[in-house]
Amino acid sequence: MLKFLKNNAIRIFKILLVVVIAANISDWFFNYSSEINHILNTAMFSLIGIAYLTFSWAFDKTVLKIIFALCGIYLIAMNFLSDYDWISIVGIVCLLVPMIIGKFLPDDEEEEDLKEEGVVL
């Protein structure tokens, strides 16, 4: 039962993300009103924030958990804060930092190879 719920939750999340991204792309052609754009941006950043929050539970290292959780929380919260330039700048940083960290994290296979060779991570 739990596996069924987990698979459906992941499927629903992916569908929502595709719908929001498709709607943002369709804005280039249909020029939606500013209210619709605000709703789409809020949904997009909230979904990305939720994804970062769920990714934070996947890591063993506390530092990575904290970074991903803080970035996810900020991406969700920034939608409900007043519109200042520094909020957008911090939002961009919160979008990019987890991506950069994910790029430089070793794969599980690489970690196992390093452990076999005696290299401590």
Residue 120 falls within a domain, yes or no? no
pLDDT at 87: 87
Assess if residue 114 is contained within a domain: no
Q: How many residues would you count in the chain?
A: 121
Structural domain boundaries, residue 90: 2-107
Rounded CA gap, 94 and 52, in Å? 10
Residue 121 lies in a domain: no
Please tell me which residue, 117 or 39, carries the higher pLDDT value: 39
Per-residue pLDDT of 91-106, as tens digits, reads 999 999 999 998 888 7
Residue 57 lies in a domain: yes
Q: What is the pLDDT of residues 33-91, one digit of tens each?
A: 999 999 999 999 999 999 999 989 888 889 999 999 999 999 999 988 887 888 889 99
Residue 118 lies in a domain: no
pLDDT at 80: 87
Any domain includes 75: yes
Angle value at C-alpha 37, between 77 and 16, nearest 5 degrees: 70
Q: Is residue 99 part of a domain?
A: yes
Number of domains in the chain: 1
Residue pair 55/68 in contact by the 8 Å Cβ criterion: yes
